Chains A and B, each alone.
Chain A
């Protein structure tokens, strides 16, 4: 397919082409433009829950992971105003959970942390809440540590056993919503499935037992290069 059949759009002053049906986020990615996001994961209907991939079209904020790109769209993405907003969202996720990076197995490979690095978060602007949250270690291969959960819904959408959801939301609202693990199903997960579940989680809420700190400091995913730089290098 040559460019004449494609959708032409502009993001951050760069003229880009997309396949019909692509979302703004996917289209930007295939054109080497990184739109920061947390809840998006390839191959799953995007939950659009983290709200970080906010972009601006015609002075309106849109969510890049759920909005299809349209012909002639002019999109603002990497602009100070939006980055500030994204940074604020990252910061509120930090204060509304218990994110003790120094003691977390996912540190260095954590996407929340990586976004904080990208936005140069030195300290969240919001007060820490230190909410009380639990850990579920009943499954053979999985630790489910809700202290680190950002409720992005990735695991809900992708971790399945016999076509049933292993993880689900429980309750609702600002103070009660949390993600729970189905103990029965989780205990049936194979070692590979458990590892996969850990990789699906952007933070350290789902951990494969006996697999902590598997790459040394300096060799972890986001030690040397920021999240999104792989897309931007293309």
Chain B
């Protein structure tokens, strides 16, 4: 073991900031990160063992214990549950003979819950040894488990490939793109390399000016003007500037980046190269969420093609000094790394805990150098802005929201998938587009967004009205909104909180318990008020977007679905005890050998 681990650490030049890569390799080789390996890494990197362990234990796909020769990571997010995740989970447990979050005694199969894996349009879905299995059914589970027992190679078990590049020999995945509506920006035809050759004729400042003029705002959710971000970064004056593309879409309900990475990687990388030129950056990093590891080889190949085309590397497009290259950094399963400063920490080999701001990443980011972090969709759009014009771009959408938006739509609708729409579409129009009727609610922007009721369906999808990173979940009228969504999402935030802000760590749990009390019929009126008041603390005090929005599922449903909560309050009393005498004395009576006298 020692030699193997030493070689891995050496491969990454004994560089502490590459700890993620080191651990990923070890996990791959040993199917876990054995304690001994952690000790060796600690010694070689001159760190304490607890310091190495704190990175390991942060990420869902790292494990100190073996996770099973076949490790099944089954998505447990709300939409997966809507689509029959529980039946699939029970089938796995029955066929495998162990419960979730454990490994069979022989170590052959491990079953693990996992947060959203970006497959909401084809749930229930699981990642098994890095390969995605979609549209799972109990019958399919039986076949899969038989395959495990026969010792089949996991890739042999993919019986058919999905559409588009999913059948590419470097992907070979059963995932479907489900592109339902192609819009004028991302999905329009274009000539590869043209935009790069165009900007090579501009100065970096001119390039930034074009992007600024287009009014494009960040597509990840926060909506910061992209051109302005580039400009701020350039003015920060560091020795090096880094460009990072955030492909860590972890918001339950979003899967647009998966589709861009599969179908339009060239476009994305061109966008990165253009940004690299504008920023005078030499290195670009694509932070790819672990869940999308199955696309990585393909992406590496596309990068190589770009190098062969002289669109990546040195003297790009023949322009002396236009040097820029891209590397792919794989994550290891942590929603909060989608937050830009958490992502930087992760890229530096640490726990993905968001940083305190200021300084902002454009001032001090990756390796303390000015860093621009843009969303996949934003960078892809940049290419078309260069090829057409800022005016062309601005002519689409609304005043504050220029251009188009990729929506990932899932839930109770006929046509879940990817839609490129112009900003400004109303929710009603969207529901008609996706074939949804009898809708109780729409979760706009995923759990961290807002849950709206039908009276608000005339509102428009735009930064002025309903901003969204793109996740749209349609909730039919027969769904139990509190149990299936609010509770599921609150549990998600508890699991995914980095935990470093006290209120995000503690209050999410307190809120969940309070919500459970109300759902159990033990609530009083004051409980709803407190739930709302306490939920609002979260907005005020937490450091990052996760913490500030972790109470949104509760807050926005209290605002928009108050009667649902009121209907659960069974009493006018101002106090109801949750104490249960029978339960409380059961153990002690059993142990001393007496019949409880109740």
Interface residues of chain A, those whose CB is within 8 Å of chain B, are: 46-52, 54, 61, 63, 66-68, 85, 88-89, 92-93, 95-96, 125-127, 129, 150-153, 161, 163-177, 180-182, 184-185
Contact = CB atoms under 8 A, between A and B. Distances in A.
Contacts of B596: none
Contact of A49 (B50, B502, B509): B502
A83 to B, nearest CB: 13
A169 B540 contact: no
Name the residue among B47, B49, B498, B513 with the largest chain A CB count within 10 angstroms. B49
A50 B351 CA distance: 18
Contacts of A95: 506, 510
A92 B507 contact: yes
A127 B540 CA distance: 22
B186 to A, nearest CB: 34
Contact of A85 (B495, B512, B537): B537
Interface stretch (B52-60, B102-110, B116-124, B474-482): B52-60
B507 to A, nearest CB: 6
The B interface, classified by DSSP as helix, strand, loop or mixed, is: helix
29 contacts: A48-B356, A50-B502, A51-B503, A51-B543, A88-B537, A89-B502, A95-B506, A125-B530, A127-B513, A150-B502, A151-B505, A153-B500, A164-B51, A165-B48, A168-B51, A168-B54, A170-B54, A172-B496, A173-B497, A174-B504, A174-B505, A174-B509, A176-B499, A177-B497, A177-B498, A180-B50, A182-B48, A182-B49, A184-B49
A177 B499 CA distance: 6
Contacts of A125: 530
B509 A175 contact: yes
- 3 closest A-B pairs by beta carbon, nearest first, are A177-B499, A174-B494, A168-B50
Contacts of B58: 169, 171-172
Contacts of A176: 499
B50 A165 contact: yes
A174 B506 contact: yes
A151 B502 contact: yes
Contacts of A129: 509
Contacts of B502: 49-52, 89, 92-93, 150-152
B174 interface: no
Nearest to B336: A172
Given A85-B541, A151-B505, 17 more contacts: A46-B356, A52-B502, A61-B540, A66-B357, A88-B534, A92-B506, A95-B506, A96-B505, A127-B513, A129-B509, A166-B48, A168-B53, A171-B57, A173-B496, A174-B505, A177-B499, A177-B500
B320 interface: no
A96 B509 contact: yes
Nearest to A50: B502
B250 to A, nearest CB: 13
B398 interface: no
Interface in B497-533: 497-510, 512-513, 530
Name the residue among A50, A165, A173 with the largest chain B CB count within 10 angstroms. A173
A44 to B, nearest CB: 13
Contact of A169 (B351, B503, B509, B530): B351
B50 A170 contact: yes
Contacts of A63: 356, 543
A168 B496 contact: no
B580 interface: no
Nearest to A170: B57
A85 B540 contact: yes
A51 B501 contact: yes
Nearest to B49: A182
A29 B48 CA distance: 35
A66 B50 CA distance: 26
Nearest to B504: A174
A66 B357 CA distance: 7
Interface string B6-20: 000000000000000
Contacts of B57: 169-172
